[in-house]
Chains A and B, each alone.
Chain A
Amino acid sequence: QQPVQSPQAVILREGEDAVINCSSSKALYSVHWYRQKHGEAPVFLMILLKGGEQKGHDKISASFNEKKQQSSLYLTASQLSYSGTYFCGTASQGGATNKLIFGTGTLLAVQP
């Protein structure tokens, strides 16, 4: 039931790009992306609803392919501030509730 994220960890130099993937075994209604810095609470990045939409702000964007039950987060021209652990959260279609289940997390380290 828990979505699977890949890669588990990635190290970048400033200015490089990264892609983080989130895959679910269930049909999805929505996908959330959050970033958590060490010792802090997770912070919202974006939500994608079913319909195959893409979203973005600044140099961070995401896509949602509901047929493949997958979402990807794209970080372009990475900055030091992008470092942290990225979690996707998924809500499945159907059922009586809309609980949000988080993935395994992807640790991103951006170096100067």
Chain B
Amino acid sequence: GAGVSQSPSNKVTEKGKDVELRCDPISGHTALYWYRQRLGQGLEFLIYFQGNSAPDKSGLPSDRFSAERTGESVSTLTIQRTQQEDSAVYLCASSSQGVVEKLFFGSGTQLSVL
């Protein structure tokens, strides 16, 4: 595709429900990042995938958060038993070679937990 695509663009859910967020990176990009951005705040690193290497999960805030990536394509971020503090914009970014090349960001998923 022309850019990084994220879906859904908006998600409203009830506290305690599970949600799945999807990211389609730019074709051929081996590096994929997930970030969380709370209202008026900076970009909080969640997880990083690079090719077939084991992902860096060091930014996941709790065991309710998990992410998968199939090869060098689609990634899904799953939040189980959502809490109100999970409300934020979840941004996905991809890059052709990790931190030596620029990141292309998707438009994000606005998650609202009621």
User: Which residues of B are found within 8 Å of A101, using beta-carbon distances?
Assistant: 45
Contact with A along B76-114 (1 / 0, CB 8 A): 000000000000000100000011111111111000000
Counting chain B CB atoms within 10 Å of each CB, the highest count among A41, A98, A102 belongs to A41
Given A41-B91, A97-B50, is A102 in contact with B42 using a C-beta cutoff of 8 Å?
yes
Find residues 4-56 in chain B having any chain A CB closer than 8 Å to their own CB.
31, 33, 35, 41-45, 48, 50, 53, 56
User: Which residues of A are found within 8 Å of B44, using beta-carbon distances?
Assistant: 102
Q: Does A103 contact B (CB under 8 A)?
A: yes
Let me know if A104 and B42 touch, CB within 8 A.
yes
Chain A residues touching B, range: 20 to 34
Q: Does A69 contact B (CB under 8 A)?
A: no
Let me know if B100 and A97 touch, CB within 8 A.
no
Interface residues of chain B, those whose CB is within 8 Å of chain A, are: 31, 33, 35, 41-45, 48, 50, 53, 56, 58-59, 91, 98-108
Let me know if A91 and B99 touch, CB within 8 A.
yes
Counting chain A CB atoms within 10 Å of each CB, the highest count among B41, B48, B102 belongs to B102
Let me know if A87 and B43 touch, CB within 8 A.
yes
22 residue pairs bridging A and B, Cβ less than 8 Å apart: A2-B42, A30-B99, A30-B100, A32-B103, A41-B105, A42-B91, A42-B103, A43-B105, A44-B102, A44-B103, A96-B56, A97-B53, A98-B50, A98-B98, A98-B99, A99-B33, A99-B59, A99-B99, A101-B45, A102-B35, A104-B42, A105-B42
| A100→B59 CA distance, assembly (Å) | 11
Given A41-B105, A98-B50, A99-B56, is A47 in contact with B100 using a C-beta cutoff of 8 Å?
yes
User: Which residues of B are found within 8 Å of A40, using beta-carbon distances?
Assistant: 107
Given A99-B56, A103-B42, is A47 in contact with B48 using a C-beta cutoff of 8 Å?
no
User: Which residues of A are found within 8 Å of B104, using beta-carbon distances?
Assistant: 44
| A99→B103 CA distance, assembly (Å) | 11
Let me know if A99 and B48 touch, CB within 8 A.
yes
Given A41-B91, A44-B103, A47-B100, is A97 in contact with B48 using a C-beta cutoff of 8 Å?
yes
Let me know if A41 and B107 touch, CB within 8 A.
yes
- Nearest residue (CB) in B for A45 is B102
